[in-house]
């Protein structure tokens, strides 16, 4: 029992297990397998079980292998012979599959709502960032200046795709397996469409073997949760960098930072680091469960009991991570002087100088070489880039003005680009997208 039980972790499914039993009992009474009196006795017992579970007074017994057996045992204690009819035409195989789908529908929607809340914080911070700019990086080397708003919204768009993935996955989760029985349906006149509707599912299974013998919806949910975790991890890594003395782009609010037990001066970005560290564990939840699924023949196999712990762990961790990271980003202070000083390194304007030459007819490869040679000379200590540019016959004083602080970011003008004009358009588009996602995730979730 210690090895095979799942009660220790599937207990949390009790509200869904009871909801599934209520629908099942109604379905049985509807086709005359239970009398109305028997149905009502079972429904009263289920209500009693719900209240005992809710207030913590439910006494689990030594033979309660999982939440399903525990609920059924108690219902039978309370309702007598009528209770013994509860499991008619049902198996724990379709029952547990139903429970997890009900649970996942609700929980995944909560995650989607919290991702939208994080997007909202990114939007607010982007709106408030105004003209603040920082270096944009490739290879973690300074590349070209970008508006801070542009950087924040880059994460916002990625999170929006995660929300869309969740909504898409929810369509496949929203299918009732109840009525599939152990694997092949029943000789009793069950109506899976009725129970599906009772439970608020969009529809019922098409194939009973598939209903109890597939877990791709769980693998998919785990993937989306893991991807959210990876996106939080990447943001976390940036906050770890940005809050170093070396970068100095951001300061964490004290409420979202931790001290050191030994070093009095330390202010550590533990939330950002755990967002990064826990992504490893989420990847483990996903890949571990994929390995569990691999090689399983149809239909139900006890291996499937192993779907719950990784799913619950991933869900718990992501919910906590979203709360913590959202708060951290909402309250962090930017240090625009540091960001802009880093972005105003003269060499950041090298591409603008080359493009200035291109607009005057120089082939881009030649322009690249001309500016590259000047950059090499400035790095060798021959003088400031703006002076070398001003003195260069191909460039001159007009081009040298491009090297001045704050000029380069203004010149990122193309659609979707990093400068003020396209970012203003992007902000508007982001607001519209976010309103759509908010509307799609504020549906009533049972």
Find the shortest distance in angstroms from Cβ 224 to ligand ARG: 22
Stretch that binds ligand ARG, among 27-35, 90-98, 157-165, 273-281 (CB under 6 A): 90-98
Find the shortest distance in angstroms from Cβ 150 to ligand ARG: 47
Stretch that binds ligand ARG, among 300-308, 327-335, 361-369, 401-409 (CB under 6 A): 300-308
Stretch that binds ligand ARG, among 52-60, 89-97, 350-358, 386-394 (CB under 6 A): 89-97
Find the shortest distance in angstroms from Cβ 181 to ligand ARG: 11
- Number of other CB atoms surrounding residue 214 within 10 Å: 20
By CB under 6 A, the residues from 221 to 280 that bind ligand ARG are: none
CB-wise, 212 or 339, nearer to ligand ARG? Answer: 212
Q: Which residues contact 133 (CB under 8 A, 6 or more apart)?
A: 145, 146, 147, 148, 339, 340, 343, 406, 409
Q: What is the DSSP letter of 384?
A: -
Say whether residue 304 binds ligand ARG (CB under 6 A).
yes
Q: Which long-range contacts (CB under 8 A, 24 or more apart) does 35-44 make?
A: 37/82, 38/82, 38/85, 39/82, 41/79, 41/80, 41/82, 41/83, 42/75, 42/79, 42/82, 42/83, 42/85, 42/86, 44/78, 44/79
* Residue 5: alpha-carbon gap to chain centroid: 30
CB-wise, 60 or 364, nearer to ligand ARG? Answer: 60
By CB under 6 A, the residues from 93 to 132 that bind ligand ARG are: 93, 96
Query: 385 with 374: CB under 8 angstroms?
Result: yes
Residue of 63, 139, 187, 261 marked active site: 139
CB-wise, 87 or 276, nearer to ligand ARG? Answer: 87
φ, ψ dihedrals at 203, nearest 5°: -170, -175
Q: Check residue 84 and give left, alpha or beta (phi > 0: left; psi -120 to 50: alpha).
A: alpha
Residue of 24, 63, 208, 260 marked active site: 260
Q: Confirm whether 176 is a catalytic residue.
A: no
Helical segments of 56-147, H only: 67-79, 92-129
Nearest to 100 by CA among 36, 43, 175: 175
CB-wise, 90 or 151, nearer to ligand ARG? Answer: 90
Number of residues near ligand ARG (by CB under 6 A): 9
- Number of other CB atoms surrounding residue 154 within 10 Å: 15
Q: What is the DSSP letter of 250?
A: E
For 333, the enclosing helix (H) or strand (E) is strand 333-334
Say whether residue 6 binds ligand ARG (CB under 6 A).
yes
Find the shortest distance in angstroms from Cβ 223 to ligand ARG: 21
CB-wise, 92 or 412, nearer to ligand ARG? Answer: 92
Stretch that binds ligand ARG, among 125-133, 135-143, 261-269, 298-306 (CB under 6 A): 298-306
Q: Which of 226, 305, 348, 441 binds ligand ARG (CB under 6 A)?
A: 305
Find the shortest distance in angstroms from Cβ 199 to ligand ARG: 18
Tokens of 235: 């943001």
- What is the x/- site pattern for ligand ARG, positions 33-72, by CB under 6 A? ---------------------------------x------
CB-wise, 10 or 162, nearer to ligand ARG? Answer: 10
Find the shortest distance in angstroms from Cβ 140 to ligand ARG: 45
Query: 153 with 424: CB under 8 angstroms?
Result: no
For 390, the enclosing helix (H) or strand (E) is helix 385-391
Q: What string of DSSP letters covers 11-24?
A: GGGHHHHHHHHHHH
CB-wise, 270 or 307, nearer to ligand ARG? Answer: 307
Say whether residue 344 binds ligand ARG (CB under 6 A).
no
Tokens 């409420």 appear where?
A: 255
Q: Confirm whether 217 is a catalytic residue.
A: no
Q: Which of 24, 85, 87, 92 binds ligand ARG (CB under 6 A)?
A: 92
CB-wise, 9 or 137, nearer to ligand ARG? Answer: 9
CB-wise, 44 or 293, nearer to ligand ARG? Answer: 293
Nearest to 69 by CA among 107, 13, 3: 13
Find the shortest distance in angstroms from Cβ 214 to ligand ARG: 13
Find the shortest distance in angstroms from Cβ 301 to ligand ARG: 9
Q: State how far the Cα of 44 lies from the Cα of 54, in Å rounded to an integer.
A: 15
Q: State how far the Cα of 250 lies from the Cα of 328, in Å rounded to an integer.
A: 11
3-state SS class at 134:
strand
Find the shortest distance in angstroms from Cβ 3 to ligand ARG: 13
Contact residues: ligand ARG, CB under 6 A: 6, 10, 66, 92-93, 96, 302, 304-305
**Catalytic residue IDs:** 139, 260
């Amino acid at each position: 029992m210690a090895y095979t039980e799942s009660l220790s972790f599937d207990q949390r499914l009790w509200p869904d297990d009871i909801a599934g039993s209520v629908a099942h009992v109604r379905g049985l009474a509807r086709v005359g397998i239970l009398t109305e009196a028997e149905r009502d006795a079972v429904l009263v017992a289920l209500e009693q079980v719900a209240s005992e579970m809710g207030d913590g007074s439910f006494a689990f017994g030594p033979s309660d292998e999982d939440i399903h057996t525990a609920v059924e045992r108690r219902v039978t204690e309370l309702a007598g012979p009528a209770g013994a009819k509860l499991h008619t035409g049902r198996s724990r195989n379709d029952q547990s599959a139903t429970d997890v789908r009900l649970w996942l529908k609700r929980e995944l929607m909560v995650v989607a709502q919290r991702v939208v809340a994080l997007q909202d914080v990114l939007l607010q911070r982007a709106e408030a960032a105004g003209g603040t700019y920082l270096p944009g990086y490739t290879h973690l080397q300074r590349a070209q200046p970008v508006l801070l708003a542009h950087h924040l919204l880059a994460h916002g768009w990625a999170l929006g795709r995660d929300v869309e993935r969740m909504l898409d996955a929810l369509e496949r989760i929203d299918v009732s397996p109840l009525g599939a029985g152990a694997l092949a349906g029943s000789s009793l006149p069950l109506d899976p469409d009725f129970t599906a509707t009772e439970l608020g599912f969009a529809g019922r299974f098409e194939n009973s073997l598939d209903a109890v013998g597939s877990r791709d919806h769980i693998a998919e949910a785990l993937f989306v949760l893991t991807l959210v975790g990876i996106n939080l991890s990447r943001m976390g890594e940036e906050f770890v960098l940005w809050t170093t003395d070396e970068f100095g782009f951001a300061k964490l609010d004290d409420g979202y930072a931790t001290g050191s037990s030994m070093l009095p001066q330390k202010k550590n970005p533990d939330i950002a680091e755990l967002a990064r560290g826990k992504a490893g564990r989420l990847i483990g939840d996903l890949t571990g469960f994929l390995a569990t699924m691999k090689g399983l023949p149809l239909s139900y196999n006890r291996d499937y009991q192993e779907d719950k712990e990784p799913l619950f762990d991933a869900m718990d961790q992501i919910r906590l991570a979203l709360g913590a990271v959202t708060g951290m980003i909402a309250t962090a202070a930017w240090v625009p002087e540091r960001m802009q000083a880093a972005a105003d390194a003269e060499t950041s304007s090298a591409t603008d100088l080359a493009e200035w030459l291109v607009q005057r007819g120089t082939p881009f490869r030649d322009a690249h070489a001309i500016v590259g040679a000047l950059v090499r000379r400035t790095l060798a200590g021959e003088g400031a880039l703006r002076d070398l540019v001003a003195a260069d016959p191909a460039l001159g004083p007009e081009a040298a003005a491009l090297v001045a602080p704050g000029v380069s970011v203004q010149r990122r003008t193309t659609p979707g680009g990093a400068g003020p004009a396209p970012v203003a358009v992007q902000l508007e588009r982001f607001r519209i997208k976010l309103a759509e996602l908010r509307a799609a995730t504020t549906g009533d979730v049972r």
